[in-house]
Amino acid sequence: MTIRQPCPPAVCDCEREQLLDAPGADQRILQLTRQEEKKLLERLENLQSLADLERMQHLMHQQLGIHVHIAPGHTEVKSMRGIQIVIDELPGLCRKTRQSIPAAIRKGLEKRPEIAYRLLDAHDLFRDSPPLL
């Protein structure tokens, strides 16, 4: 199994070494090499539908152990920044990756705003409004 190369010392807080040293720890996240991360981010930037986004969330959880929560923010959603994208803490998940995944998802939503509309619909924000599309 190929695992991710370590980050430069004092640059990241991913706790990679502690994860490697812990017996029985879930080390799936270490399979996310820099090359695989680029593929994942590209895939997230090119989402096709809400079902595609949900499938990607499921695959990230199943294959890497990453839990990504996506929902409308607590305040009014006026842009893609109003949609909250939260990644649960996970030992071994690089700080830069934790920032890159939400950014890639936002890019995907900006490319296809209908996905964001479906996401809002799924959270009942427009239940009494006429269809947007």
The per-residue pLDDT for 2 is: 84
CA 21 to chain centre: 26
Q: How many CA atoms lie less than 13 Å away from 66 in the CB half-sphere?
A: 26
Is 13 or 85 the better-scoring residue by pLDDT? 85
The per-residue pLDDT for 93 is: 92
Q: Which of 35, 57, 55 is nearest to 102 (CA)?
A: 57
For range 82-93, the mean pLDDT: 90
Q: From CA 117, how far away is CA 42, in angstroms rounded?
A: 21
- Scan for tokens 């900006």, then name that residue: 110
Lowest mean pLDDT among 16-20, 39-43, 126-130: 126-130
Is the model's pLDDT at 128 over the cut of 60?
no
- Those residues with Cβ within 8 angstroms of residue 18's Cβ, 6 or more apart along the chain or in another chain: 91
Residue 16's pLDDT band (boundaries 50, 70, 90)? confident
Is 72 or 131 the better-scoring residue by pLDDT? 72
- Scan for tokens 């996506």, then name that residue: 70
- Cβ count within 10 A of residue 128: 6
Contact status, residue 19 vs residue 94, Cβ threshold 8 Å = no
Question: Torsion angle of alpha carbons 4, 89, 61, 25, nearest 10°?
Answer: 60
Judge if pTM exceeds 0.95. Answer: no
Q: Which tokens hold the place of 67? A: 């839990």
For range 8-18, the mean pLDDT: 82
Is the model's pLDDT at 88 over the cut of 90?
yes
The per-residue pLDDT for 5 is: 87
Q: How many CA atoms lie less than 13 Å away from 70 in the CB half-sphere?
A: 28
Contact status, residue 93 vs residue 99, Cβ threshold 8 Å = no
